[in-house]
Amino acid sequence: MEENDNWVFFKEIDWDDVKFNRFNVDTRDFHVGYQYSKTEHKDIQTLIKYDRFFFTKEELINIVDKLYNESGGAGAWKYLELLSDDSRILNWKLKYLRIFRTDLRFIICNSDNVALTKELLELKINNKILHHH
């Protein structure tokens, strides 16, 4: 991949490209901005104790693909929320999926860089408030 001022559709992302280790998926249209950062996730020392916060590339792709498809696929805009009362994934907290590629695997976070577990990201989409356009 090459540096790009425009965000790229998620299916065109090379998650293994060594030039980039931070990815921001805009869940309104599933386009991705990407960059390289020397900064680790702020909670990495705590997260490494728990496998449920780390995703293989295949798991990452499956999660993003699932969220895209279950939220209606192609569209100009959507509001994404999962069926839960967990504050980490409510009220626009999933506007962006902040993804860190680490030496261990990938960490998927909400818009506020709070790491999300595999169990949270496997929840169904709240279709009552999806607002897919």
- 60 lies in a domain? yes
* 3-state DSSP assignment of residue 109: strand
Question: Strands 31-35 and 8-9: what pairing?
Answer: antiparallel
Q: Which residue has the higher pLDDT, 60 or 78?
A: 60
| Residue 71 resides in a domain | yes
Report the pLDDT averaged over residues 13-23. 97
Kindly tell me if the per-residue pLDDT of 132 is higher than 60: no
**Quick check: 94 pLDDT over 60?**
yes
Read off the pTM.
Answer: 0.92
pLDDT band at 77 (very low <50, low <70, confident <90, very high): confident
Q: Are 29 and 75 in contact (CB under 8 A)?
A: yes
Asked if residue 1 is part of any domain, the answer here is no
CB 97 within 8 A of CB 81: no
Q: Which domain holds residue 54?
A: 8-129
Asked whether residue 109 carries a pLDDT value surpassing 60, the answer given is yes
Average pLDDT, integer, range 83-107: 94
Per-residue model confidence (pLDDT) at position 74: 80
Question: In total, how many domains does the chain have?
Answer: 1
DSSP one-letter string for 69-108: HHTTSS-S-----BSS--GGGSTTTTSEEEEEE-SS-EEE
Answer yes or no: is 2 within a domain. Answer: no
pLDDT in tens, 31-57: 999 999 999 999 999 999 999 999 999
Look at residue 133 in the predicted model and tell me its pLDDT. 47
For residue 73, give both structure tokens: 């696929």
